Amino acid sequence: MWCRKLYVCGLVIMVSGAAYSQKTDRDYLRSGNKLYNDSLFVKAEVDYRKALEINPKSSDVMYNLGNSLLMQQKAKEAMEQYEAAARLEKDKEKLAHIYHNMGVILQSSKQLPQCIEAYKEALRNNPKDNETRYNLVLAQKQLKDQQQQQQNQDQQQDKKQDQKQDEKDQNKEQQEQQQQQNQNQQQQQQNKDEMSKENAEQLLRAAMQDEKDVQDKVKKQMQVSGKKLEKDW
């Protein structure tokens, strides 16, 4: 598990003997920290927001508010508070905490390149933070595994596309062969039909010629036997 305990930024408050009826941003910050340490994160959020209403540029309040939101599984809202705190904070150790927590959120949402940059930024501000260094190494390994997995998926996808193209080419070739075969069959049938027609015409002509020959023979025979026979009384 790469998430470490979230730190709250406390303030050393010098209180004079005079009593104040109106709470300050530091009062709400201190109250929010107590609630946070008691795991009352929703109530802590309320006090942190009240502190921000009084002092909108308090990076300590932004960071602690981010922590209380993160403990409520409101990662997106927590990230917004961390980003705002990082723009204002000047203390390197606090910046290291901010970027570490940003890295945790990014790592949990699988945004590994951004996560790695956040951890690196945390280490630039605190090179001795071994917990962040461990998280960085883990994130780098996860990114490598993720890239390898994506590469394998791309290769599988390319292979499937090649197979589909091969099947498409084979189907096209089979269709062309079938089409050619159909054309050949049609041509053969047409030739056969033409030959049959020609044969029929030849047979008809032959039959007609035979009939003519027969008729001619009959006529000749009739001419030969055409004498009028005398009656034998």
Amino acid at 177: Q
> What pLDDT sits at residue 9?
61
Query: How far, in Å, are 91, 104, 113 from residue 146 at the CA level?
Result: 35, 17, 11
Predicted confidence (pLDDT) per residue in 99-150, tens digit: 999 999 999 999 999 999 999 999 999 999 999 999 999 999 999 999 999 8
Query: How far, in Å, are 70, 78, 108 from residue 5 at the CA level?
Result: 11, 15, 15
Helix ranges (DSSP H) in 89-129: 92-108, 112-125
- Do residues 48 and 28 lie in contact, with contact meaning Cβ atoms separated by under 8 Å? yes
> What pLDDT sits at residue 97?
97
**Domain chopping of the chain, boundaries:** 25-146
Architecture of domain 25-146: Alpha Horseshoe (1.25)
Predicted confidence (pLDDT) per residue in 173-203, tens digit: 888 889 888 888 888 887 777 767 777 788 8
Predicted confidence (pLDDT) per residue in 37-94, tens digit: 999 999 999 999 999 999 999 999 999 999 999 999 999 999 999 999 999 999 999 9
pLDDT band at 229 (very low <50, low <70, confident <90, very high): very low
Closest CA to 117 of 139, 94, 86, 87: 139
Buried b (16+ CB within 10 A) or exposed e, 137-151: eebeebbeeeeeeee
pLDDT at 211 exceeding the cut of 80: no
> What pLDDT sits at residue 157?
85
